[in-house]
Amino acid sequence: MSSQVSGSIISEGKAILGIEFGSTRIKSVLIDRDHKVIASGSHEWENDFQNGVWTYSEQAILSGLQASYADLKQNVLRETGVPLKRIAVLGVSAMMHGYLPFDAGMKLLVPFRTWRNTITGEAAEKLSALFSFNMPQRWSLSHLYQAILNEEPHVKDIRFLTTLAGWIHFLLTGKKVLGVGDASGMMPIDSDTCDYNAKMVAAFDALVAPKGFPWKLKEILPAVLSAGEDAGTLTAEGAKLLDPSGDLEPGCPLCPPEGDAGTGMTATNSVRPRTGNVSAGTSIFSMIVLEKPMSKVYPEIDIVTTPVGKQVGMVHCNSCTSDINAWVALFREFAELMGFKTDAGEVFTRLFKKAMEGEKDCGGLVSFNYYAGEPVTGLSEGRPMLIRTPDARMNMANFMRTQIYASLETLKAGMDIMAKENVPIDEVYGHGGLFKTEGVGQNLLAAAIHAPVTVMETAGEGGAWGIALLAEYAILRGEGESLEDYLRDHVFAGMKKLTVAPDPEDEKGFDRYMEQFMRCIPAQKAAVEGLKA
C-alpha cells in the first residue's frame, strides 16, 4: 500500500486501532478496511516480583499504554506524512485472568496480581469442588476467593472486579463491560446464555454469605458482551489518556475488550469447532474449539470460550521462551567476551536451526524452563533447571533441541489428555515468537501434539492485529454474519500459509524425551524446596 493511500485512510479517520497488553510488550496496530497493517507501535515492559506477587504497577500500565500509542502515532506520521487524529473503531486486549479489584471511586485496592501467580491453590481447589468445574489458580474468581480465605481487609470495599483489558476499556469509555472470551477467564461461562454461569454465581454467593460482604458477585463483575456488540465510545477523558497531546478526537466506537486467548483465536482463524491454535511467547497455551463438552473435569485443561461464547479446551503453561532468551543472552555475552559482535535475530535463527541437527530424544538432556509454577504438572513454583546424565551427548544441537522441547513439554502433557479424550482437531495454527524460524518451532510442535500445524503469513502480527480484526468486525460485519464466516470469507480467504505434518521420528523422539521429563518432576520439586526465591 502506498503512503498516499495510507495517508488518505488516516486523514479520513477510516483506520482501525487494536492495542494489546502482552507480558513483555504493549503493541498498537493500525489496520485498513482490508485488514492490512498500516503502521504499528510498541512499548517494552516487564513484570515485577513484589512481596511474592508477580505484578505490573499502575503507573507502568498507564505510561506503557501512552508510550505504545505515541510510538504508533510517530510511525504513522513518518510513514504517511499525516498526523493521526481520528480512528474509525478501537479495540483493547490484554493478558487474561488475574486480579484487579476497585472500590466505589475506581481506586485500585491492591497491586495488579497477574496470571503468572500461583498463590491461590486453596481457593482454586475449593471452587473446583464446589462447581464440579476446573477452576485454575490464575482465574479472577480464584484470586478473589483466596483473598477472602486470607481475610484480606480490602475485600469488603470491592465494588468492581475486572481484567486488565476491562480496566483499560473502562478508562477509555466509562463502560464496565468485558468480551465473553475474557470473561470466561474470570469465572465459568454458560455458552447457551453467553453470560456467567448462573448456578455457579449463586453457589459462590451462598459460600461467602456468612462473611456479610456488602456485594453480590454479579454486582461487582463486568457485563458480558459477545463479539460485534456495542461496547461504548471513546470519551474525551479516554482520548486524553491515550494521547495526552490532545490530538486524538473522541467519539469512535469500541468493540468488547478481549483477552489474549480470544485475540489469538481470531488472529489465526481458529474460532470454529474442530480448529485450534497455539500461542507461544513468554507463556504458551493451546486453544481447541470443542465440538462437544469433555467427558469429565480435568485439572490440566481449562474451559474458556471463543469471542462469541463457544466452548474451548485450553492448556495454559506459564513459561515458554523466557529460558531460551536467557541462554541466548549468555551465548551473546560469551561471543562479545571473545571479541565478536552479534545480532540477536541472527543468533536466534542459527541456534534454532542447529536444534534440528540434535538427537530426536535430546541425547540424555532434560530441561525445565519453569520461571513460575506450572499447575499442569503440579508445581506451585518453578526453578529453571537443566539435567543430564553423565554420558549425555552435551553438544549445541542437543542443547538447543532440549531448550525448544522444554518450551513445549508442559503443553504436550496437557494436549496428550485431549488426545486420549479423542477431541477432534482439523487444524492447529501456530503464532508467536517460537515460530519465527521456519522449519523449527512449527515442526517440533507438530511432533509434540501429533497433529499438523499451520503457520500463516500473519503469524507475527499477534493479538494486537486480532483485536483490531474484532474491532473491524464490530462495524463492518454483514447483517447476521457470524464471526466464523467473517474471518473465513473476508480476512483469511486466499491467505498464504504453510502446513507441516508431524515427522514420525520426531514424534517418537519427543515421546521418549517426555518419559524422562515426567520422571524428573520430583527433582524440580526438590529444587523449589532447596532453592527458595
Q: Per residue, what are the HEC states of 461-494? A: CHHHHHHHHHHHHHHHCCCCCCHHHHHHHHHCCC
Cell triple for 50 = 513484589
Distances (CA, A) of 3 to 10, 29, 129, 409: 10, 16, 58, 45
Residue at 167: amino acid letter:
W
Chain segment 247-277, per-residue pLDDT in tens: 999 999 999 999 998 998 999 899 999 999 9
CB 229 within 8 A of CB 172: no
The dihedral formed by the CA atoms of 151, 152, 157 and 161, expressed in degrees to the nearest 10: -100
Phi then psi for 271, rounded to 5 degrees?
A: -110, 0
CB 171 within 8 A of CB 241: yes
Q: Look at residue 3 in the predicted model and tell me its pLDDT.
A: 63
Is 269-319+414-500 in the same CATH topology as 3-258?
Answer: yes
CB 367 within 8 A of CB 512: no
Q: Look at residue 301 in the predicted model and tell me its pLDDT.
A: 93
Domain ranges of the chain: 3-258, 269-319+414-500, 322-409+504-530
Whether domain 269-319+414-500 has CATH 3.30.420.40: the reply is yes
Q: Which helix (H) or strand (E) holds 131?
A: helix 121-131
Q: Which helix (H) or strand (E) holds 446?
A: helix 441-449
Chain segment 353-366, per-residue pLDDT in tens: 999 999 999 999 99
Cell 481475610 found at: 151
The pLDDT tens digits along the chain (533 residues) read: 556 667 889 999 999 999 999 988 999 999 999 899 999 999 999 999 999 999 999 999 999 999 999 999 999 999 999 999 999 999 999 999 999 999 999 999 999 999 888 899 999 999 999 999 999 999 999 999 999 999 999 999 999 999 999 999 999 999 999 999 999 999 999 999 999 999 999 999 999 999 999 999 999 999 999 999 999 999 999 999 999 999 999 999 999 999 998 998 999 899 999 999 998 888 898 999 999 888 899 989 999 999 999 999 999 898 999 999 999 999 999 999 999 999 999 999 999 999 999 999 999 999 999 998 898 998 989 999 999 999 999 999 999 999 999 999 999 999 999 989 989 888 899 888 888 899 999 999 999 999 899 998 765 567 899 999 999 999 887 667 999 999 999 999 888 889 999 999 999 999 999 999 999 999 999 999 999 86
CB 140 within 8 A of CB 99: yes
CB 355 within 8 A of CB 416: no
Burial 460-474 (b: 16+ CB within 10 A, else e): ebbbbbbbbbbbbbb
Which CATH superfamily, name and number, covers 3-258?
Answer: ATPase, nucleotide binding domain (3.30.420.40)
CB 5 within 8 A of CB 78: no
Q: Look at residue 54 in the predicted model and tell me its pLDDT.
A: 93
Cell 515427522 found at: 503
Distances (CA, A) of 40 to 228, 245, 346: 24, 19, 23
Q: Looking at residue 379, what DSSP letter applies?
A: B
Determine the 3-state secondary structure of 400 from DSSP: helix
Q: Look at residue 502 in the predicted model and tell me its pLDDT.
A: 94
Cα 18 to chain centroid, rounded: 15
SS (H, E, C) 311-337: EEEEEEECCCCHHHHHHHHHHHHHHHH
d(CA 73, CA 95): 23
Cell triple for 377 = 504438572
